[in-house]
Amino acid sequence: MKKVFTRPKSLKDMPFHYCPGCTHGIVHRLVAEVIDEMGIFDRTIAVAPVGCSVFCYDYFDCDAYQASHGRAPAVATGIKRVLPDRVVFTYQGDGDLAAIGTGEIVHAAARGEKFTVIFINNAIYAMTGGQMAPTTLLGQVTTTTPYGRNREINGCPVRMSEMLAVLDGSAYIARVSVHDPANVARAKRAVRKAFEVQMAGLGFTMVEVLSSCPTNWGLSPLKALKWLEENMIPYYPLGEYKVSGDTTPLFRHDSGADGGLSKNDPAEVG
Amino acid sequence: MAKILMKGNEAIGEGAVRAGCRYFFGYPITPQSELPHYLAKRLPEVGGLYLQAESEVASINMVFGAAGAGARVMTSSSGPGISLMQEGISYLAGAELPCVIVNMIRGGPGLGNIAPAQSDYFQATRGGGHGDYRVLVLAPASVQEIIDLMKDAFDLADKYRNPVMLIGDGVLGQMMEPVELDEEVKPVVLPEKSWAATGRMGRDKKNLINSLYIVPENCEAHNLELARKYGTMAEKEQRWEDYHTEGAELVLVAFGTAARVCKAVVDMFREEGRPVGLLRPITLWPFPAKRVAALAGTARHFLTVEMSMGQMVEDVRLAVNGRRPVYFYGRAGGMIPVARDVYREAGKILTGGADS
């Protein structure tokens, strides 16, 4: 019988610990597929964060590091500066990257560090029990914003891709989503582009992935994907915010599939 | 061999280069600035990298990455910056990564000042960060000793796969002394690091740099393994210098800059024919408890002299274990003990201490 679908070689044969309906599994798979397809498994190094994906070093079968909360970009800097011919990626959540690790991510991007960041934005701290994240939407109910995120008290959600794209050191910054198959395919292309830009030595690369957290959002997996599409994408527009190297657009202006929020041209957001 | 004049902070840098260190990650703070200045110039000459980080927190995590990748790597800072690094040092110890961290101690607590102090002794020897761990702590007292100990620091870090801290203060960092140096930098053969996570590159097994042991049984086993390692370090790595301790009735105990002051005090007493000696710990952790315990069998009193309100004195008391009185004299907040004051304190003990 012909095998038409199998586990990527870069992923270990072990069950994910993620909750049902969580999109970490999809993103892990996309990264692993890209590593396999590019034939770079042997020289790829993963840096795991603190958060739900803390154990991602157990799933990616390449050499790996487990970094302290928020510091993955600093750890990746140390690795890549010692081993410039390796492919290094960090995998970080929104609490890790956009709150406690803001200093590290901003300065890694500013220095143009040549590694790739896979940034999972699910608008919540999931592992610690559904607290407000820097990316939590206004009005969104979390365990620490039981009355909804209030602008006066908590300020507004942070748009990291837009913020990092303005830095001269960043070479590829894209925001994608994994709420439906078309977007999953697009997310994979973005990950590949980011790895290619890293390997071309053009600078800092990041793919922000809008992800769902059914458990802490209190929604079924399907409703969570719908909520992501209807609430997160309007605030966090999908698109490429910085492009270097291959400029084939990830998003087409004429498709309308992204609600007119696509951004191909860095000049548009610059 | 050439004899040249060198500042302590520069000697740390040159000592590191000669020990094969090629990576430095750091953030500016006084009073260790001459060290990054020196290495920013020197490392590129030997194909190395000096990288200025955005904070001490980032510095120590860059060290984590570089150490995990198998490099000889170091950072340096002073009090407040070292406080910021503590989480990272705990992770380095937990993941068993070798590196060298320099603390040129300044007056504290808080912002304190930039004057010389030894008040980070507890922080250095008691872990500083969270969890059960130890770092090996070296305390040189001269510029030549700085050069020599930098080599040992990197060797010990690799031998035990553990962070090593070298501590000094603004006096040691800024003073110039003649040092003997080989005229050329000899290539250093680094030990093989089969555990380093460098990309699998054909390796059968993946390498993981990690301090997470989510199952308590596994975490306890990891702690027991670390404790065994620290036990070996405590057994094998105690270092000290004896200065006229033979037949000494009163033994001064002091390290680093304070020990230099105490040497002058010992000389003053010895000129008068009075039996005073100095024990100078070179390793602060492991503390040279063996030597202190042995001296407690011959000396009648101990006087610990520190540039703090009294921190190492606790280790002296633990080692003496109640057998002899242990006195303390210290200056704090960036003040340095003056020889005549220590001489007076020691004199009081010698004349009146017999019955204490």
3-class SS of residue A197: helix
User: A24-269 belongs to which homologous superfamily?
Assistant: Thiamin diphosphate (ThDP)-binding fold, Pyr/PP domains (3.40.50.970)
Angle between helices B8-18 and B143-160 (to 10 degrees): 40
Task: Summarize the confidence of residues B67-94 as an average pLDDT.
Answer: 98
Of chain A, the end-to-end C-alpha distance in Å amounts to 52
Task: Return d(Cα A242, Cα B109) in angstroms, integer.
Answer: 45
Rounded CA-CA distance A92/A94 in Å is 7
pLDDT above 50 for B210: yes
Rounded distance, CA A104 to CA A113, Å?
11
Return d(Cα B83, Cα A82) in angstroms, integer. 26
Mutate to test the interface with A, among B49, B51, B54 (most CBs of A within 10 A): B54
- Predicted confidence (pLDDT) per residue in B275-297, tens digit: 999 999 999 999 999 999 999 99
Domain range list for chain A: 24-269
Q: With an 8 Å Cβ cutoff, are B58 and A43 in contact?
A: no
**Interface mutation vs chain A, best among B52, B57, B84, B190, most A CBs within 10 Å:** B57
* DSSP result, A145-160: BTT---HHHH-PPP-H
Cβ pairs bridging A and B (under 8 Å) = 124
The continuous run of DSSP H or E covering A116 comes out as: strand A116-121
Percent of chain B with pLDDT strictly greater than 70: 99
Q: Do A64 and B211 touch (CB under 8 A)?
A: no
pLDDT of residue A265: 41
Closest CB to A75: pick one of B54, B64, B199.
B64
Over residues B297-340, the pLDDT tens digits come to: 999 999 999 999 999 999 999 999 999 999 999 999 999 999 99
Q: CA torsion B265→B266→B267→B272, rounded to 10°?
A: 100
Whether residue B57 contacts residue B88, with contact meaning beta carbons closer than 8 Å, is answered with yes
Q: What is the pLDDT of residue B353?
A: 52
Question: First vs last Cα of chain B: how many Å apart?
Answer: 51
- Alpha-carbon gap, residue B150 to B188, rounded angstroms: 13
Where do the domains of chain B lie, and which CATH numbers do they carry?
Answer: 2-236 (3.40.50.970), 240-355 (3.40.50.920)
Q: In chain A, which residues have their Cβ closer than 8 Å to the Cβ of B64?
A: 65, 67-68, 71, 74-75, 78
If 0-12 CB within 10 Å is exposed, 13-18 middle and 19+ buried, where does residue B241 land?
Answer: middle
A187, HSE (Cβ side, Cα atoms, 13 Å) = 27
Per-residue pLDDT 10s for chain A (270 aa) are 888 999 999 999 999 999 999 999 999 999 999 999 999 999 999 999 999 999 999 999 999 999 999 999 999 999 999 999 999 999 999 999 999 999 999 999 999 999 999 999 999 999 999 999 999 999 999 999 999 999 999 999 999 999 999 999 999 999 999 999 999 999 999 999 999 999 999 999 999 999 999 999 999 999 999 999 999 999 999 999 999 987 788 876 544 444 434 444 443 333
Digit-coded pLDDT (tens) for B341-352: 999 999 999 998
Task: Write down the pLDDT at residue B186.
Answer: 87
pTM of the model: 0.95
Rounded to an integer, the average pLDDT of B219-231 is 98
Give contacts of A65 with chain B, Cβ < 8 Å: 64-65, 68, 197, 208-210
Q: Do B210 and A65 touch (CB under 8 A)?
A: yes
SS3 A34: helix
Mean pLDDT of B181-192: 90
ipTM associated with this complex: 0.96
